[in-house]
Amino acid sequence: MDFFDVISVDEARKGTIKTFKEYKFDIEEVGLLESNNRILAEDIYSNINVPEFNRSTVDGFAIKSKDSHGASESIPSLFNILGEVQMGKATSYSIKSGEAVYVPTGGMIPEGADGVVMIEYTEKLDESNLMVYRSISTNENIILKGDDIKIGEIALKKGRKVTPEVMGVLAALGISKVKVYKKPKFYIISTGDEIIDLEEKLELGKIRDINSYALYSLIVNLGGEVVGKSIVKDNYELLRKEVEKAIKVSDIVLISGGSSVGARDYTNKVINSFNGEGVFVHGISIKPGKPTIIGEGEGKLIFGLPGHPVSSIMVFKAIVEYYIKTKMNIESIDFKTKAIMDFNFPSSSGKETYQMVKLKEEDGKVYATPNFGKSGMITLLSDSDGYIVIKSYEEGIYKGEERDVFLF
């Protein structure tokens, strides 16, 4: 006895991608600092070598490395000091055998030199004579021209998130403006006669709106933007009006709540009342989260998420995040770790099951302990470290097996 024509998580993901295969997220050009945590919308080619010259990584003397061969504390090699390289300046020195030039860290290596001996291993006899107490190998203490980034190569791929190290690469290339995806615009509608917002008085039978706040944070952390947020009573006309408004200003509409049959019917009818394909996913074999519907109206993606906070958050992670990641070519944004399951958990539901776990470390091993609780409880999430995914074809979890834990 099932009210839903349920499909698998994978089918729901593919169906959504397929329906919106023509949908494009806009691209915008932003300043480098502004690009932090955004997603690159273009491959970044290097138009320079980094560095553009052979560069010393230490304070020391540039020499021909073979001139130092055999040098030691007891038998130093002798060099003729030509002079000093100025920081930030090109050098016109050219080194021949037996000659040395002082180069500070980051300074340019003179022509002819193929190694820098650290100042700690040298001794100046006078202004022009240097003793070297150590042998160096070819290119020791040098970053060669183009060693870091070569001219013409793809330095960063489209879909890469701008993290500190990516921003460092962009800065190294002198890129002051970068093309990133515009933040996807979301509109969150919480439905339910029992749902009240923060400022309202909590009366018996009512419950505070949890979902729209948790979804807000998920959206922002995913790189999206919340352009609207409202609570609507279980009423067809009111919900339709609000969705109509939402469609106009957003890329994705999330209708949360409506896990009861009646409320689900409203959501379904509302989505189908707009031009477009209407509801194309009527339930997903996911636990928690089954009563999820997905549709298209006026070209916009509309989700009917379950009312239970945990269900709604997990469906967001399973479907909405997947959609955004796929559309923006994001390689991965999940943090996961391996952990040893310290419990048996039969799961023959035929559903893709998201089981919350807590992690603990003992003797250098990480163990996952299940956190059972009802999906209506937000503390089921806030008391957990992450979750494991049990595929629909699996029979469950065996104690002792190692699995991926996706971290919150």
Residue list 351-380, contact with a second copy (CB under 8 A)? 364-366, 374-379
Please state, in angstroms and rounded to a whole number, the distance separating the CA atoms of residues 366 and 221.
Answer: 26
Report 277-316 residues binding a second copy (CB under 8 A).
Answer: 307-309, 313
Regarding 138 and contact with a second copy (CB under 8 A), the answer is no
Cβ nearer to a second copy, comparing 44 with 294: 44
Regarding 111 and contact with a second copy (CB under 8 A), the answer is no
- Closest contact distance (angstroms) between CB of 195 and a second copy is 8
- Closest contact distance (angstroms) between CB of 155 and a second copy is 8
Regarding 180 and contact with a second copy (CB under 8 A), the answer is no
Report 248-277 residues binding a second copy (CB under 8 A).
Answer: 259-263
CA dihedral 233, 234, 235, 239 (to 10 degrees): 70
- Closest contact distance (angstroms) between CB of 249 and a second copy is 18
Piece of 93-101, 201-209, 320-328, 342-350 that binds a second copy (CB under 8 A): 201-209
- Closest contact distance (angstroms) between CB of 19 and a second copy is 26
Instruction: Please tell me the count of residues contacting a second copy according to CB under 8 A.
Output: 104
Cβ nearer to a second copy, comparing 226 with 297: 226
Cβ nearer to a second copy, comparing 236 with 335: 335
CA-closest candidate to residue 370, choices 388, 385, 357, 383? 357
- Closest contact distance (angstroms) between CB of 16 and a second copy is 21
Cβ nearer to a second copy, comparing 9 with 313: 313
Regarding 192 and contact with a second copy (CB under 8 A), the answer is yes
| Spatial CB neighbours of 168, under 8 Å, sequence gap ≥ 6 | none
CA–CA distance from 181 to each of 34, 118, 284 (Å)?
A: 12, 46, 29
Cβ nearer to a second copy, comparing 62 with 108: 108
Piece of 51-59, 64-72, 346-354, 392-400 that binds a second copy (CB under 8 A): 51-59
- Closest contact distance (angstroms) between CB of 259 and a second copy is 4
Which listed residue (98, 152, 174, 346) binds a second copy by CB under 8 A? 174
Please state, in angstroms and rounded to a whole number, the distance separating the CA atoms of residues 191 and 258.
Answer: 6
Q: Give the per-residue contact string, 149-168, with a second copy (x = CB under 8 A; - = no).
A: x-----xx-----xxxxxxx
Cβ nearer to a second copy, comparing 147 with 394: 147
Whether the Cβ atoms of residue 291 and residue 194 lie closer than 8 Å to each other: no
Cβ nearer to a second copy, comparing 207 with 249: 207
Regarding 237 and contact with a second copy (CB under 8 A), the answer is no
Q: Give the per-residue contact string, 13-32, with a second copy (x = CB under 8 A; - = no).
A: -------------------x
- Closest contact distance (angstroms) between CB of 124 and a second copy is 14
Please state, in angstroms and rounded to a whole number, the distance separating the CA atoms of residues 94 and 344.
Answer: 71
Piece of 191-199, 248-256, 275-283, 387-395 that binds a second copy (CB under 8 A): 191-199
Helix 261-272 to helix 236-249 angle, to the nearest 10 degrees? 50
Regarding 34 and contact with a second copy (CB under 8 A), the answer is no
Q: Give the per-residue contact string, 318-347, with a second copy (x = CB under 8 A; - = no).
A: -----------------xxxxx--------
Piece of 22-30, 203-211, 242-250, 273-281 that binds a second copy (CB under 8 A): 203-211
Report 62-91 residues binding a second copy (CB under 8 A).
Answer: 86-91
